Amino acid sequence: MAELSNITFWDKINEATIRFVREHREDDVRLLALSGHKNPDINLQWALEQIQGWQTARRKLPSWSAVEGIVYPPHLSMEQCSSETTALYKCSIIDQLPNTCRGMLVDLTGGFGVDFAFLARQFEKAIYVERQEHLVETARHNYELLNGDSHTQAAFMNVDAEKAIDSLPGDYPPDSTLFYLDPARRDNKQTRTYAIADCTPNVLELLPRLIQRGNRILLKLSPMLDWHKAVDDLGDNVAQVHLVSVKNECKELLMLLDSSHCGEPTIYCVNDNQTLAYTPSQQKGLSLAAAKDAEAPYMYEPNSSVMKAGCFSLLTQRYPVTALSSDSHLFLSRERVMDFPGRCFAVTMVTTMNKKSLATALKGTRQANVATRNFPLTAQQLRKRLHLAEGGDNYIFGTTTASGDHLLYICKKTL
Q: How confident is the model at residue 4 (pLDDT cuts 50, 70, 90)?
A: very low
Q: Are residues 173 and 218 in the same domain?
A: yes
The answer to whether residues 177 and 299 belong to one domain is no
Alpha-carbon separation of residue 74 from 52, 230, 293 (angstroms): 9, 30, 54
Last residue of a domain, one of 235, 250, 279: 279
User: Does residue 8 or residue 362 have the better pLDDT?
Assistant: 362
Domain range enclosing 373: 291-413
Residues 164 and 243 occupy one common structural domain:
yes
**Residue 1 in domain:** no
Amino acid 195: pLDDT: 85
Whether 2 is in a domain gets the answer no
- Checking if the pLDDT of 2 tops 50, the result is no
Query: Exposed, middle or buried, 84 (CB in 10 Å: 0-12/13-18/19+)?
Result: middle
pLDDT tens digit sequence for 45-64: 899 999 999 999 999 999 99
* pLDDT(10) > 70: no
Residue 354 falls within a domain, yes or no? Answer: yes
Is 378 a domain residue?
yes
Q: How far apart are CA 2 and CA 181, in angstroms?
A: 20
Question: In Å, how far are 216, 224, 244, 299 from 82, measured between CA atoms?
Answer: 20, 16, 12, 33
Residue 22 is assigned to a structural domain of this protein: yes
Pair (152, 50) in one structural domain: no
pLDDT recorded at residue 144: 93
Please tell me the predicted confidence (pLDDT) of residue 40. 83
Q: What is the pLDDT of residue 187?
A: 57
Give the strand order in the sheet containing 153-158. Answer: 153-158, 125-130, 104-107, 177-181, 216-221, 249-258, 238-246, 266-271, 274-278
Same domain flag for 298 and 187: no
Could you tell me if residue 262 is inside a domain?
yes
Higher pLDDT, 104 or 74: 104
Q: Are residues 188 and 316 in the same domain?
A: no
Check whether 121 has a pLDDT greater than 80.
yes
Assess if residue 322 is contained within a domain: yes
**Do 92 and 202 fall into the same domain?**
yes
Could you tell me if residue 239 is inside a domain? yes
Same domain flag for 16 and 133: no
How far apart are alpha carbons 185 and 360 in whole angstroms? Answer: 51
The mean per-residue pLDDT over the stretch 322-329 comes to 94
pLDDT at 191: 60
Per-residue pLDDT tens over the stretch 236-253: 999 999 999 999 999 999
* Residue 11: per-residue pLDDT: 57
- What whole-number percentage of the chain has pLDDT above 70? 95
Least confident window among 28-42, 112-126, 318-332: 28-42
Q: What is the pLDDT of residue 186?
A: 63
pLDDT of amino acid 35: 80
309 and 400 fall within a common domain: yes
Q: How many domains does the chain have?
A: 3
Give the domain CATH number at 58.
1.10.10
User: What is this structure's pTM?
Assistant: 0.91
Final residue of a domain: which of 254, 279, 304? 279
Task: Judge whether residue 165 has pLDDT over 90.
Answer: yes
- Last residue of one domain, picked from the residues 279, 311, 341: 279
* pLDDT reported for residue 7: 43
Sign of the CA dihedral 374, 379, 384, 390? positive
Reported as a single tens digit per residue, the pLDDT across 357-373 is 999 999 999 999 999 99
The answer on 363 and 302 residing in a single domain is: yes
Please tell me the least confidently modeled range out of 71-80, 188-197, 219-228, 232-241: 188-197
pLDDT at residue 9, as a whole number = 55
For the stretch 21-37, pLDDT in tens is 999 999 999 998 888 67
Same-domain check for residues 121 and 215:
yes
Q: Indicate whether 15 pLDDT > 90.
A: no
Tell me what pLDDT residue 290 has. Answer: 84
- Give the pLDDT score at 299: 97
Query: What is the pLDDT confidence band of residue 1, given thresholds at 50, 70 and 90?
Result: very low
Alpha-carbon dihedral sign for residues 107, 108, 110, 115 = negative
Query: Within this chain, do residues 271 and 301 fall inside the same structural domain, yes or no?
Result: no
How far CA 53 is from CA of 58, 71, 299, in Å, comes to 9, 8, 41
| CATH value at residue 112 | 3.40.50.150
Query: Is 209's pLDDT higher than 50?
Result: yes
State percent of the chain over pLDDT 90. 78
pLDDT at 316: 96
